[in-house]
Amino acid sequence: MSYFTTSDGAEIYYTDQGSGQPIVLSHGWPLSSDAWQVEIKRFTDAGYRVIAHDRRGHGRSSKVIDGHDMTTFAKNLSELIEHLDLHNIVVIGHSTGGGEVVRYAAQFGKGRVAKVVTAGAVPPIMLKSESNPEGTPIEALDDIRANVLKDRSQFWNELSVPFYGANRPGQDVSEGLKQDFWRQGMLVGLAAAYDCVKAFSETDQTEDLKAIDVPMFIAHGDADQIVPIAAAAQKSIKLVKDATLKVYPGASHGIWGAYQDELDQDILDFIKK
Q: Which of 26, 32, 33, 95 is catalytic?
A: 95
Verify whether residue 33 is a known catalytic residue: no
Do residues 85 and 11 make contact, with C-beta atoms less than 8 angstroms apart? no
Taking CA 114 as the corner, what is the angle to CA 254 and CA 206, rounded to the nearest 5 degrees? 60
The sign of the dihedral angle between the CA atoms of 34, 39, 45, 47 is: negative
75 vs 53: CA distance, rounded Å: 13
Verify whether residue 253 is a known catalytic residue: yes
136 vs 68: CA distance, rounded Å: 20
Question: Three-state SS for 216?
Answer: strand
Verify whether residue 95 is a known catalytic residue: yes
- DSSP 8-state assignment for residue 54: P
99 vs 40: CA distance, rounded Å: 20
Residues 62-76 as b/e (b if ≥16 CB within 10 A, e otherwise) read bbbeebbbbebbbbb
Q: Which of 54, 195, 208, 224 is catalytic?
A: 224
Strand order in the sheet with 113-119: 2-5, 11-17, 49-53, 22-26, 89-94, 113-119, 216-221, 243-248
220 vs 44: CA distance, rounded Å: 24
Positions marked active-site? 95, 224, 253
